[in-house]
Amino acid sequence: MLSKRRGILHLLNGVRSLSTNITNKNKAEELMNSKQVPQDKEATLYIHWPYCQKRCHYCNFNKYISQNVDHKKMKKCLVRETKTLLSMSGVERVKSIFFGGGTPSLAEPATISAIVDCVSDAVAMAPDAEVSMEANPTSAEWFRLSEFKTAGINRLSLGVQSFKDSFLKLLGRNHSSLDALRALEAAKTLFPGKVSLDLIFGIPNQTLTDWKEDLEGVLKVCDNHISLYQLTLERGTNLFKWHQAGDVSLPNADETADMYQIAVDRMAEAGFRRYEVSNFARDDSVSIHNLSYWTGGQYIGVGPGAHGRFALPGGNNRESFLWPKGSKGTDTRAQFLDV
């Protein structure tokens, strides 16, 4: 008799679960088909993959150099945190996912797929949802990129930084200009119109002529999006130490200002629109994710060192929501908007 009751309870729980899933699916479909979603119900999602093959001489991001990454555990933890923060935020639709790092192209495609599936199961994905991934040229072979495309990636951001090998060596990059060109061709084949290149200016010993040559080289081979970043010296990095010791010197403020203005003018001549201080696009290939940051949209950060900024449901209740009643609040990795 007891066994029969348990069986009935299991059946009822199964029906409730099925009903909930159908309701959630219908709600998701309604949201996907609707262009109007309240601002506090929509967000972008940033996923931080913290592992790299080496630490570049200018980078102070939260990253780890390890040859023994537990991919199974990382996948489990990132999926769990994604579910938790999506639920915590009250967000109903995600319009973009960005896998950054670190070097997320070192992650297993199964990890990327599991996170994308987790998001689409938990909330609605915008019909034109952008799923971007940063990639290093040395981990962006055609076959590997094709696996990431199958896993759900539809846009690639390639960390070229320079097409001059001497500057790549100075920056501590582990790829050559030839590696970058090969990776770029593979990326453009798999993600036509959806490949972005990162370039750095203000590198030690870089002249205006050097910068112009890099820009011209990029414009000959690029797709429809370019990100240009001025090098900054960060404490704890090799470049910072070398600069403090007088071993390297940076272009002065006027020179870097000239480099930026040269880039803005040349990008415009080539048909690229500057839609954010560092980002240029043509043929309407703006990054949904970058634009959302720039316009103050909500974003959820997942992974070690990631940062999020979103409104909690119900207004300013961060303390009661984050910490158990009666406990003392401490700093949290996520930052929330008061509404």
Q: Which candidate, 104, 110, 89, places its Cα nearest to that of 44?
A: 89
Taking only Cα atoms into account, the Rg of the chain, rounded to an integer number of angstroms, comes to 23
User: Predicted confidence band at 6 (pLDDT cuts at 50, 70, 90)?
Assistant: very low
User: Predicted confidence band at 311 (pLDDT cuts at 50, 70, 90)?
Assistant: confident
Average pLDDT along the chain: 85
DSSP H helical ranges for the chain = 2-33, 71-89, 109-122, 142-151, 165-171, 177-190, 208-221, 238-244, 253-269, 288-294, 318-322
Written as six digits, the tokens of 200 are 């750095």
The pLDDT of residue 312 = 84
Q: What are the tens digits of pLDDT across the range 41-74?
A: 999 999 999 999 999 999 988 888 988 999 999 9
- Length of the chain as a residue count: 339
Average of per-residue pLDDT across 266-289? 97
Pairing of strands 279-281, 225-230: antiparallel
Q: What are the tens digits of pLDDT across the range 73-109?
A: 999 999 999 999 999 999 999 999 999 999 999 999 9
Return d(Cα 213, Cα 309) in angstroms, integer: 39
DSSP 63-102: -EE-S---HHHHHHHHHHHHHHHHHHHT--EEEEEEEEES
Written as six digits, the tokens of 71 are 């991919």
Q: Is the dihedral of CA 274, 278, 284, 289 positive or negative?
A: negative
For the cut 50, the answer to whether the pLDDT of residue 326 exceeds it is no
The pLDDT of residue 37 = 78
Average of per-residue pLDDT across 248-262? 97
For the cut 80, the answer to whether the pLDDT of residue 7 exceeds it is no
Burial of 324 (0-12, 13-18, 19+ CB in 10 A): exposed
Count Cβ neighbours within 10 Å for each residue of 19-54 and write b for 16 or more, e otherwise: eeeeeeeeebeebbeeeebeebbbbbbbbbbbbbee
The pLDDT of residue 316 = 52
For the cut 80, the answer to whether the pLDDT of residue 237 exceeds it is yes
Q: What is the CATH number of domain 39-337?
A: 3.20.20.70
Token pair 């030839």: residue: 178
Pairing of strands 155-161, 124-135: parallel
User: Predicted confidence band at 20 (pLDDT cuts at 50, 70, 90)?
Assistant: very low
Residue type, 145: L
Distance of alpha carbon 14 from its chain centroid, rounded? 37
> What is residue 155's three-state secondary structure?
strand
Yes or no: say if 175 and 137 are a contact pair by the CB < 8 Å rule. yes
Three-state secondary structure of 276-288: ECCEEECCCCCCH
Average of per-residue pLDDT across 1-16? 39
The pLDDT of residue 66 = 86
Pairing of strands 155-161, 195-201: parallel
For 62-66, 125-129, 190-194, 327-331, which range has the lowest pLDDT when averaged over its residues?
327-331
Count Cβ neighbours within 10 Å for each residue of 95-123 and write b for 16 or more, e otherwise: bbbbbbbbbbbbbbbebbbbbbebbbebb
- What does the domain layout of the chain look like in residue ranges? 39-337
